[in-house]
Structure formats: C-alpha cells, structure tokens
C-alpha cells in the first residue's frame, strides 16, 4: 500500500483528483468505480473544473458506483444517482449510458445484483475504484461482519444507519431499509484502489484497517491484501498511522 499524505481536505482532494485524472488521461476508456458520501465531493468538483478548463475528457470513460438505496427513484434527492448526477455527471461529458448505479427501483433484488455484476464484467472489470471509509471500517455498504467473498448484494441497513438517515426524510417510513452494494470481492477485483479519508474522525479506523488484523469485523482491513492500494489522507486522518 502507498500512503499519500495531504495537508488538509483540499490538498487531499487535489491529490486524489490528480490520480483519477491521470488514469483517465492515460486510458480514456477507463472504468472508474465511484463512491458517494462527503469525502469525494471536493474530488468531483475538481474533476469538473478541470473538464471545464479543457484538461479532461470523459467521453470514453465509464463509471460504476459502489452502492444505491433500495426503493429510491433516481430523482429522489437522497438517492445516490441524484448525488452523482448533481455533483459530477452533469458537469462533465460522461455518457449517461456509461454511468452506472444499481437501480433502486428494480422489481427483483436478486436479479438486480446479478445485472450489476454483469455490467462490471461486460467492461472487463474496474480500472480504478475510489473508496471512502466508514467510522466502523465499512466500504460501500459492507458493514462489519460481512463475508469477504460477497459480490454485489442487497443489505438490510442497521438500525443505527436508519436512525442516522432519518433526518434527511419527511417520514420515518420513507427511510430506506435496504441498499445494494458491491461486495468486498467485487471491490477487491478492481485493478487499482484509491481510498480517501479526511479528518481526525477517520484516524483510528485507518490505523485498525491498515495495521490491525485482517477481519470481517473491519471490512476495510481486507485492502491490506490488495496489491495496488493508494491511501490518500490528510494529516488528521493519517495521524495514527506511522510514517514509513
Ligand atoms: C459511499 C459509500 C460509503 C462511504 C463511507 C464514508 O458510496 O459507499 O462507504 O464511502 O460511508 O462516507 P463519508 O465520505 O461521508 O465519510
């Protein structure tokens, strides 16, 4: 694993965006695995700016997102499709037919998981997967205890996640109970992984994930086995990882 130390959030975003842009420049038809959440927002903003300045071209690029809530329509502001569209896709020239997320409205969850894995295979896999990390070590929606062998699957959200999401919805009954997520095996098959983390709140879980035992209780710990992982973190996030 390579660790790239950034001074702060903005610096972390610039470094991660540089890595993703280099990937796309070197291989215009790259398949990018993308994440939502607060950490990548600055990365998408920079890539959009560089596109606007004429430095980037996503016309041949494909993207395959990590996860999506079950039951949310693409125009629901809480859906990950909506997040991706508003924060990235609509600002660049990626073709909509090449920008993939699980379909939150699919009638059959098992079929939807199989369809998503088939999309990934149809592109011959993911060239570069961008990941954030949860405070409990989750990657995608793979919460502690998830088997490392899983492909894309449907998870029931924990009570604490449902409670945390409650504030975004008018009614408790609107809060999604399930989500689709790439599995750990899907993530591990990406050729390169770029994990981004910012803030002191991620420091302890990064230490556990990269210096502790590999265990399903800390899903990100499996990344120790991947041969091409770059961790881009700011000073605070990396404060508990020793400098090599
Ligand atoms: C997002 C995802 C999640 C987040 C993680 C960190 O698609 O799969 O695993 O990456 O929850 O979220 P933030 O960046 O908000 O701290």
Give per-residue pLDDT as tens, 54-84: 999 999 999 999 999 999 999 999 999 999 9
Comparing C-alpha atoms, which of 101, 160, 169, 105 is closest to residue 135?
160
Catalytic-labelled residue, pool 18, 87, 136, 165: 136
Residue 25's alpha-carbon distances to 59, 122, 144, 226, in angstroms, are 11, 22, 36, 24
- Given 67, 127, 208, 236, the catalytic residue: 67
pLDDT at position 36 is: 97
Give 72's contacts (C-beta < 8 A, 6+ positions apart): 78, 79, 104, 105, 176
Diameter of the chain by CA atoms?
49
Of 16, 35, 129, the residue with max ligand 1 atoms within 8 A of its CB, to mutate for a pocket test, comes to 35
**Residue with structure tokens 């790439």?**
182
Per-residue confidence (pLDDT) for residue 237, from 0 to 100: 98
Q: pLDDT at position 174, please?
A: 87
Question: Ligand 1: which atom is nearest the Cα of residue 196?
Answer: 14
**Does the structural domain 2-129+151-194+218-233 have CATH classification 3.40.50.1360?**
yes
Could you give the residue ranges of the DSSP H alpha helices within 1-136? 9-26, 41-52, 80-87, 109-122
Edge-to-edge strands of the sheet including 178-181?
Answer: 67-69, 178-181, 153-156
Strand partners, 153: 181
**Residue 151 designated active-site:** no
| Alpha carbons 119 and 29: distance in angstroms, whole number | 15
Ligand 1 atom closest to 80 (CA): 7
Q: What is the pLDDT of residues 79-96, one digit of tens each?
A: 999 999 999 999 999 999
Percent of the chain with pLDDT over 70: 99
Measuring from atom 8 of ligand 1, which residue has the nearest CA? 140
Q: Are 35 and 8 in contact (CB under 8 A)?
A: no
pTM above 0.85, yes or no: yes
Among protein residues, the one whose CA lies closest to atom 4 of ligand 1: 132
- Residue 163 pLDDT: 84
Please give the Cα distance from 192 to 119 (Å, whole number). Answer: 18
- Give the tokens for residue 35: 């994440």
CA atoms of 162 and 178, how far apart (whole Å): 9
List the chain residues with pLDDT less than 70.
244
143 carries an active-site annotation: yes
The pLDDT value recorded for residue 138 is: 94
* Domain ranges within the chain, ordered by starting residue: 2-129+151-194+218-233
Would you state the pLDDT for residue 244?
57
Please list every protein residue whose CB sits less than 6 Å from any atom of ligand 1.
35-39, 66-67, 132-134, 138-140
- Annotated active-site residue in 100, 138, 153, 192: 138
Could you tell me the distance, in angstroms and rounded to a whole number, from the CA of residue 231 to the centre of ligand 1? 15
Among 198, 138, 185, 211, which Cα is nearest to 16's?
198
100 is catalytic: no
């Amino acid at each position: 694993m390579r660790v790239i130390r950034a001074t702060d959030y903005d610096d972390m975003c610039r470094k991660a965006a540089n890595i993703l842009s280099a990937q796309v420049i070197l291989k215009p038809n790259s398949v990018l695995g993308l994440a939502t959440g607060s950490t990548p927002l600055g990365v998408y903003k920079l890539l959009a700016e560089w596109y606007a300045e004429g430095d980037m071209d996503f016309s041949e690029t494909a993207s395959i997102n990590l996860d999506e809530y079950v039951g949310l329509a693409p125009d629901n502001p809480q859906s990950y499709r909506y997040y991706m569209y508003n924060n990235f896709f609509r600002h660049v020239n990626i073709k909509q037919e090449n920008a993939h997320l699980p379909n939150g409205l699919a009638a059959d969850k098992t079929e939807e998981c199989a369809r998503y894995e088939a999309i990934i295979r149809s592109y011959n896999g993911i060239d570069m997967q961008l990941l954030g990390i949860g405070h409990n070590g989750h990657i995608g929606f793979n919460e502690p205890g998830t088997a490392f062998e899983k492909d894309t699957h449907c998870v029931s959200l924990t009570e604490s996640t449902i409670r945390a999401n409650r504030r975004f919805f008018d009614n408790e009954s609107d809060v999604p109970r399930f989500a689709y997520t790439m599995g750990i095996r899907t993530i591990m098959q990406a050729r390169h992984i770029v994990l981004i983390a910012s803030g002191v709140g991620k420091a302890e879980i990064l230490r556990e994930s990269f210096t502790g035992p590999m265990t399903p209780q800390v899903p990100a710990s499996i990344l120790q086995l991947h041969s091409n992982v770059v961790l881009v973190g700011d000073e605070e996030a990396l404060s508990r990882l020793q400098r090599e």
